[in-house]
Amino acid sequence: MRRLIGILMLLSAGCAEDEPYGVLADVLRRGELRVSTDAAYPPQSELIDGEWFGFDIDVARAIGAYLGVSVTFVTPPFDDVIAGGWLEDWDVSVGSVTITNQRLSVLNFSTPYYYVPAYFGAVSGSGITTSAQLAGRTICVGSGTTYEDYLSGRLSLSASSIYEPPPASMGLVILDTDTDCIDTLVNTPSIAQVMMSSQTTIDDAGAGITRFERASFAEQLAVATDRSPTVDDEDMLRAVNDALADMRRTGKLTELSMRNYGRDLTQAPND
């Protein structure tokens, strides 16, 4: 794998103005990338007997390898991560942070490294297979989910994450969990014949529910950096994007997704 640090060293030797600066310069000088993540969020990240495991962990380590530096993990509260103003306590967050409009005011984001697409699913054999058939129907969602926010018009994802508007004049059945919606569709379709959830949840629901072909929206998960006025994160963000591009080109990102999820979540849905 091409090491970005070698290229940066050559640039700095040849022309001072090309030297890395800000967060990236600190990382290279230190020889260590400090990454915030979650210690109890499998399969994304998990700390077991002092050892780190998970997709986010593997991605962070691959970024570190691309830069030619070691990686250490810190575990601040997630609310502290998405609030920005990190006070240089860590360099980047590789913690499955979804890009939202609110977060863009305090954080900068890399290109997405994976996606959690949201799909409708309908009772198998119902003949309901597309979003165009959902106007006026009753749709089941889990309470407090992004799916409820989407159908209620409250979703705050970036515009590029929304692929189609919610159905018109629909009714909502809001249950405690997505699993409750699965049970409702399978056992009492008179209440609702359609639900909305993640691709993985609907695909794992069994033969009684059929997922629509196209996603309605997707949470785009990306590496985050602090965009505080006192933080120079531009070079760091560019380096992370270069690392992710290299991982895509070599198939490494797909390999890590398959290892941790058993499916490739690194490709944008509907492509």
Q: Where are the domains of the chain?
A: 4-106+227-261, 115-218
* Nearest in space to 78 (alpha carbons), one of 65, 67, 94: 94
Convert the pLDDT of each residue in 79-117 to its tens digit. 999 999 999 999 999 999 989 888 999 999 999 999 999
Mean pLDDT of the 37-63 span: 96
Predicted confidence (pLDDT) per residue in 119-162, tens digit: 999 999 999 999 999 999 999 999 988 899 999 999 988 888 99
Query: Does 115-218 match 4-106+227-261 at the fold level?
Result: yes
pTM: 0.83
Superfamily (CATH H level) for 115-218:
Periplasmic binding protein-like II (3.40.190.10)
- Asked whether residue 3 carries a pLDDT value surpassing 70, the answer given is no
Task: Give pLDDT tens digits for 193-232.
Answer: 999 999 989 998 999 999 999 999 999 999 999 999 999 9
pLDDT at position 65: 98
Topology classification of domain 4-106+227-261:
D-Maltodextrin-Binding Protein; domain 2 (3.40.190)
